[in-house]
Amino acid sequence: MAQAEQYLQDALAAFDFGGEVVGAVRYGSGHINDTFCVHTQPGEEPCRRFILQRISSAAFHHPDQVMANIAGVTSFLGKAIAAVGGDPGRETMTVLPTRDGRSFYSDSEGGAWRVYPFIEGTVCLQAAETPELFAASARTFGRFQRMLKDYPADTLYETIPHFHDTEDRLSKLKAAVEADVMGRVKDVQPELDFVRKREADCSVALQALREGKLPLRVTHNDTKLNNVLIDRDSGEGICVIDLDTVMPGLSINDFGDSIRFGANHSAEDERDLSKVNFDISLYEVYTQGFLEGAGGALTQAELDYLPWGAKLMTLECGIRFLTDYLEGDHYFRIHREGQNLDRCRTQFKLVADMEEQWEAMKAVVDKYR
């Protein structure tokens, strides 16, 4: 048996799925973790499904801290959801413990594996198929923000230090250019010029934080549309997933990362940039939904800075894709050569579009604040 398959089998054996496991297949399109969908056949009962994940060791150096955060946040959310008559089994993730009662299993190579019950009857979208679905995701992320308003932030580990520290991301890009380990710097001069012209932008949100204008909150930090599950029948957002990066952060970044990914009609790695356009009407739909979900939890300064959240998360993500391209693609999973450069280019195209529509972006926030 191949080594990877052996690790998978060992991981499966570490959990009690309540029935015989009849399959474990690769699942989803996340860029970071190795995700499998596990099926069981417990006697006469219908098949049950689970999500089994090997946490990326390239991204997360302390899986125990990741799981401590997730256990804390999911149990907090579970209680809050139950208190308002909701269904914690569907509206938050639940960690399935290992047979020996731990939140994850470590394989002999140090890889960390965890399991969540599969939340059935939901869809996970790669693009905003309709404005209504995008609005549903916005309300769900806004609500997530509001529900974690009173979570004790000082109990959370920083699972990836400097995660949305855009100044640090810029420094790491410069270091990658300096090292040029793959000899790719010669091919990315237009992209490096694009960043050079926006170096000062990288400090805008961090400066506002340092000056005390923007508060540090408990945030998700990875609010892509495919990190929310939507009820298949009602089209309503049900559950925020991918909680690996829940840690203290800026609310404008949670808003902004959703805009980056969802307020356009193209894939993140689209090669034909003529198809990549920031859609201000989707931005408006999301703004309305996010503010409705957040239910007054944001300060006036946070509202003022929402357009910056959108622009900075998009610029920062482009910088991260470019850095990974220069370093040899060891962070974001790729399926073809050059994919991280293609991803970088879509992000920079979206940034340029946002700059052109900056006044309109501010006006949208003013309309719904």
Contact status: 30 vs Mg ion (CB under 5 A): yes
CB 64 within 8 A of CB 159: no
Cβ nearer to ligand ADP, comparing 96 with 301: 96
The C-alpha atoms of residue 22 and residue 250 are separated, in whole angstroms, by 43
Q: Pick one of ligand GN1, ligand ADP, Mg ion, none as the site partner of residue 218 (Cβ within 5 to 8 A by kind).
A: none
Does 138 sit near ligand ADP (CB under 6 A)?
A: no
Q: What is the 3-state secondary structure (H, E, C) of the chain?
A: CCHHHHHHHHHHHCECCCCEEEEEEECCCCCCCEEEEEEEECCCCCCEEEEEEEECCCCCCCHHHHHHHHHHHHHHHHHHHHHCCCCHHHHCCCCECECCCCCCEECCCCCEEEEEECCCCEECCCCCCCHHHHHHHHHHHHHHHHHCCCCCHHHCCCCCCCCCCHHHHHHHHHHHHHHCCCCCHHHCHHHHHHHHCCCHHHHHHHHHHHCCCCCCEEECCCCCHHHEEEECCCCCEEEECCHHHCEEECHHHHHHHHHHHHCECCCCCCCCHHHCCECHHHHHHHHHHHHHHHCCCCCHHHHHCHHHHHHHHHHHHHHHHHHHHHHCCCCCCCCCCCHHHHHHHHHHHHHHHHHHCHHHHHHHHHHHC
14 binds ligand ADP (CB under 6 A): no
| Dihedral in degrees, nearest 10, Cα atoms 185, 188, 194, 200 | -20
**Nearer Cβ to ligand ADP (33/323):** 33
Looking at the Cβ atoms of 230 and 303, the one nearer to ligand ADP is 230
Asked if residue 269 binds ligand GN1 (CB under 6 A), the reply is no
The interface with ligand GN1 within residues 25-64 (CB under 6 A) comprises 30-32, 59
Name the closest residue to ligand ADP (Cβ).
30
- Burial bucket for residue 352 (CB in 10 Å: 0-12, 13-18, 19+): middle
Q: Identify which of residues 30 and 307 has a Cβ nearer to Mg ion in the complex.
A: 30
Contact of residue 94 among Mg ion, ligand GN1, ligand ADP, none (CB under 5-8 Å per partner type): none
CB of 200 to ligand ADP, least distance (A): 31
**227 is a site residue for ligand GN1 (CB under 6 A):** yes
Give yes or no for residue 284 binding Mg ion (CB under 5 A). no
Least CB distance to ligand ADP at residue 168 (A):
21
268 binds Mg ion (CB under 5 A): no
The binder of 63, among ligand ADP, ligand GN1, Mg ion, none, by C-beta within 5 to 8 A per type, is none
Contacts with ligand GN1: how many residues (CB under 6 A)?
A: 12
Cα(294)–Cα(136) distance, integer angstroms: 13
Interface mask (CB under 5 A) for Mg ion, residues 232-251, using x and -?
----------x---------
Closer of 30 and 88 to ligand ADP (Cβ) = 30
- Give me the 239-268 binding string for ligand ADP, x by CB under 6 A, dash otherwise: --xx--------------------------
Task: Check residue 127 for interaction with ligand GN1 (CB under 6 A).
Answer: no
Which of 10, 19, 21, 27 binds ligand ADP (CB under 6 A)? It is 27
Name the residue with tokens 């859609």.
Answer: 279
- Is 257 a binding residue for Mg ion by CB under 5 A? The answer is no
Minimum distance of ligand GN1 from residue 222's CB (angstroms): 5
Of 38 and 51, the one with the shorter C-beta distance to ligand ADP is: 51
Residues found near Mg ion in the complex (CB under 5 A) = 30, 227, 242
Residues that bind ligand ADP (CB under 6 A): 27-28, 30-33, 35, 51, 93, 116, 118-119, 124, 226-227, 229, 241-242
